[in-house]
Structure 1
Amino acid sequence: MTGQDRPRPVFDPALGTETRALLAAAPERLVAACRPAPGPPRLRAATVVARLVWIPAFAVFYGVLPGGWLRVCLLASLDDDELLGGAMRWGRLPVLAMMLTPALQILLLMLGQIEAAAVLAAVSFTGWVTGALRHVREPAAARAAREHHGSYLLPADFDRPAAGLLVRAQRAVDAVLGSRAHGAGLLDDIHNAVVLPSQEWAIAGALAEHSRLRRERVAQQPERLSPRVRALLEPQDRAMEASVRSVTGRIEALEAYARRAAEADDAYHESRVLQGLPEQNARYRDLLAGTVGDDMAGAEIRGMAEDARRAETALRERVAGAIRAGHDLALPSERPGVSPRRAR
């Protein structure tokens, strides 16, 4: 599946804005809904022992024996790839500071600045302890990905037919939300920021279910079934076809709305041009008055004013058409008089 045919992750609108942003910022933490939910993190016994030894050892080396070579030996002796790898990932500057701190402590002791050396040792030790304990806590993105597993859908949740339909839906949503008419507030009556994410999630949920069912059917190896058993599966096939048609119709409605939004964009551009017409008309009026007769000048000016009125009417009609198309997209839970239900 190419990048253009690959859908982006879809998040349940019921998730909070901060949670969605946290998950979107850490795609490597997300686990497809078609796979088992990740379990809570577990520390290896070697990691726990290494940390128990690591922290008090650094307390001694920072406070009693501030020697850079001792610290290098300690890092080399710890058989804990996570700790050593974490130190390397911090970058060259922090590691360089780690190596130079003991030398600075020795210099301060030689100069008789015992209190300054003690403060430096305490600050350095606190930093190292904080770094050690930081790995004990589960990262916020990993915890969110585990707790909200199933409330987001990834490309792996969709087979090729489903992915193609979802990409169409997402392109239509992007076209509407990226339109100048939406940005200018001309389509705000539809609450695009609410309706469109709900539509995308509902479509994605249906397509993910289609993908699961089709994968299960392939696993059944239908070519090895007898005609009588295959006949029993035909109602399932008809149900699948009906559901695919329904979802495809919803996607086509999204695409129709995107086309109406594009038309409204064109009309909005024309309206912006019309805003400068009065000043331009005055300049053209002076031009015509100086080159042709007054009667001809008046007719030309009246013609330009009539064109402006027609363009303004076209803008209102196109925006109204886009708004009507947008209202048809609302899920039952988003229509007046209908109790809210969670999109699936």
Structure 2
Amino acid sequence: MKKEPPPSPRLAAVTVRDPDLAEKDRDLLVRADRDPRSYPRGEVSVWWATAPYLLRPGLAVAGLGAGAWVTGAVEWYTPSPHDGGATVNDAFGRPVQELFDGLHSALLMAWPIGTAVLAFMGFAYAANAASRNKTARRLAELKDRCVQPSELNDDARTLLARAQQAKKAVRTSAVHRFDLIDRQHNDVALPRQEWEIAEALRKYTRMVKAEPSNPKGDKVAALLNTRRRALRASLDGITRRVEALESYAEQVAQADDRYRELQQIQTLTDGSDDVLDFLARTVRDDLAIAEIEGMTGEAAAVADAFTTALESAKEAAVIALPTRTTAA
């Protein structure tokens, strides 16, 4: 029984960020995407963010202050009013009073220090909360400069994944790495095309989600049908743009195949002298020469095919990656 081929893996879209973002903003979005728990999505009160961290230290400082007041306000020992020898009160009361006097002095020193440490902790936690609020505000400002796959519906997510797959195919090709198809232009134009496609797909998804799920009345239904036709036309335009990218990636893949084939032929023909020497020992010289000439002709044919493939890829690039013009 013939086995069925394994299903091809489903394309998965990834997050797209505006290529015009500053490097620090791009890094912030990447870090927030990788570790969302460490980056707040909204501002919080600096006081309420700081207070929980100061509760226990504040109670400790209050305890130090209360202890300093108690040990200083209460007289634990009063000398006995007589001229005789030491009494039990003198024998035990004086050491206890000295102990509390020493404790009072220590608490008088510790309480201001604890207060200063508490103030420093409050400042540090408040500064940290203010910094987190600043980061949260910046993330909110950058929200529209980043398109998450979760923001798109199924159709839009599939189109974005196709565009990203085409972009990846071009940028990982050998002819791109060796700058045989204008690598510099690709490195600028491909991220720009990906971002514009992602941004358009997000707008399309938002408009689709804004439609009423249960339209009431014929007029609403007619208006909704008109709106959906317009949205479908817009989606078709984005689809054609993605297909142009895929056509470009396909032409690049063909050029890549011809390039590798040409490399293999050149590797074989580089050793033609050795082949000629070997054949000359076993067959007539004219047969050996004809064999080598045939290999050389094959290399020339592949080189021509590679040139043709490169030209096709460049023509596809003109369609898929038009050069952006700026106003004078």
Could you state the TM-score of these two structures normalised by the residue count of structure 2?
A: 0.69
Number of residue pairs matched by the alignment: 261
In structure 1, the gaps of 5 or more residues are: 32-36, 62-124
Partner of 1:118: none
Classify 1:195/1:271 alpha carbon distance in 2 versus 1 (closer, same or farther; 3 Å): same
**Contact preservation (8 Å) 2:43, 2:133:** no
**Contact preservation (8 Å) 1:166, 1:204:** yes
SS in 1 for 2:46: coil
Classify 1:30/1:163 alpha carbon distance in 2 versus 1 (closer, same or farther; 3 Å): farther
Partner of 2:324: 335
Partner of 1:319: 310
Cα shift readout 1:227-267 (whole Å, capped 9, x = no counterpart): 23312333212211111110111111111111111111112
Partner of 2:177: 183
SS in 2 for 1:8: coil
Cα shift readout 1:16-70 (whole Å, capped 9, x = no counterpart): 2442233123205779xxxxx9544432436247349749979xx9xxxxxxxxx
- Is structure 2 residue 45 aligned with structure 1 residue 42? yes
How many angstroms apart in 1 are the aligned matches of 2:48 and 2:165? 49
Q: CA deviation at 1:300?
A: 0.8
Partner of 1:116: none
Partner of 1:94: none
SS in 2 for 1:335: coil
> What's the C-alpha RMSD, in Å, of the aligned pairs?
3.4
- Is structure 2 residue 244 aligned with structure 1 residue 250? no
**Contact preservation (8 Å) 1:5, 1:163:** no
Classify 1:278/1:229 alpha carbon distance in 2 versus 1 (closer, same or farther; 3 Å): closer
In structure 2, the gaps of 5 or more residues are: 1-8, 65-117
Cα shift readout 1:65-98 (whole Å, capped 9, x = no counterpart): xxxxxxxxxxxxxxxxxxxxxxxxxxxxxxxxxx
Residue among 154, 157, 160 paired with 1:160:
154
Q: Which amino acid aligns with 1:214?
A: V
**Contact preservation (8 Å) 2:151, 2:205:** yes
Classify 1:147/1:53 alpha carbon distance in 2 versus 1 (closer, same or farther; 3 Å): farther
Partner of 1:261: 252
Classify 1:285/1:5 alpha carbon distance in 2 versus 1 (closer, same or farther; 3 Å): closer
Q: Which amino acid aligns with 1:162?
A: A
Partner of 1:276: 267
Residue among 197, 201, 207 paired with 1:213:
207
1:11-160 counterparts in 2 under 5 A? 11-27=17-33, 38-45=41-48, 47-48=50-51, 50-51=53-54, 54=57, 132=125, 134=128, 136-138=130-132, 142=136, 144-160=138-154
Structure 1 residues 244-253 or 13-22, which shifts more? Answer: 13-22
Q: Which amino acid aligns with 1:339?
A: A
Q: Which amino acid aligns with 2:167?
A: V
Classify 1:194/1:20 alpha carbon distance in 2 versus 1 (closer, same or farther; 3 Å): same
Q: Which amino acid aligns with 2:258?
A: A
Q: Identity of paired residues, percent?
A: 33
Q: Which amino acid aligns with 1:206?
A: A
Structure 1 residues 138-147 or 281-290, which shifts more? Answer: 138-147
- Is structure 2 residue 283 aligned with structure 1 residue 292? yes
Partner of 2:13: 7
How many angstroms apart in 1 are the aligned matches of 2:131 and 2:53? 16
Classify 1:46/1:304 alpha carbon distance in 2 versus 1 (closer, same or farther; 3 Å): closer
How many angstroms apart in 2 are the aligned matches of 1:268 and 1:130? 64
Q: CA deviation at 1:130?
A: 10
How many angstroms apart in 1 are the aligned matches of 2:182 and 2:123? 48
Classify 1:8/1:260 alpha carbon distance in 2 versus 1 (closer, same or farther; 3 Å): same
